[in-house]
Amino acid sequence: MTTHEPEPDELPDVPQPGWPGPDRYTLLAMVELDEALDADVRVDAAHAVVSDGVVRAFGPRWNEWLAQALAAEGVDPGDLAALLRDDELAERVVRRMRDRMRADDDAPDLPDEEFGWYAYAPGDPAGSREAFRRAVRRRAQTARHALLAPRRPRVAGRRDER
């Protein structure tokens, strides 16, 4: 029995949609790796992968746009660690870089921002968080109950629904 290994020319050139995205986390990954390189940490392979991802996410001129965005925010373009220290600055820089992406024909298209992942339902922004908080507060009580309460008896002829 053999498995089919894809040939290199069968592999898709286009990455899966959604990763890497032109977002704060992609940019901060690159900044963290640059900081690690400055500290003489061996991250050559990781740097190659992430730098390719940043180019795929932001476009080939991302480094130039990053320096311009930092300068526009009043930060020294050589001080990339400022992005790691200040999340709001990182968000503003990414917004500026996305604006530059919209104006550049060589940059990839921005993802649709209409949808997003959230920890709560759109119609009930506090309900699911409250239910989670209640469950956390009652965690010790629920554990004691599960430990001390007798198990339900099994009834002949009844099956669990799946």
Stretch 10-39: mean pLDDT: 76
Model confidence pLDDT, tens digit, residues 82-121: 999 999 999 999 999 999 988 888 888 877 666 666 666 6
Residue 1: pLDDT over 90:
no
Which residues contact residue 21 at a Cβ distance below 8 angstroms, ignoring those fewer than 6 apart? Answer: 57, 111
Query: Domain residues of the chain, as ranges?
Result: 1-116, 118-152
Q: Tell me what pLDDT residue 142 has.
A: 87
pLDDT band at 12 (very low <50, low <70, confident <90, very high): very low
- CA dist 86 and 94 (Å) reads 13
- Residue 18: left (phi > 0), alpha (psi -120 to 50), or beta? left
Q: Tell me what pLDDT residue 18 has.
A: 57
Q: Tell me what pLDDT residue 70 has.
A: 94
Model confidence pLDDT, tens digit, residues 63-88: 999 999 999 999 999 999 999 999 99
- CA dist 110 and 150 (Å) reads 56
> How many C-beta neighbours within 10 Å does residue 29 have?
18
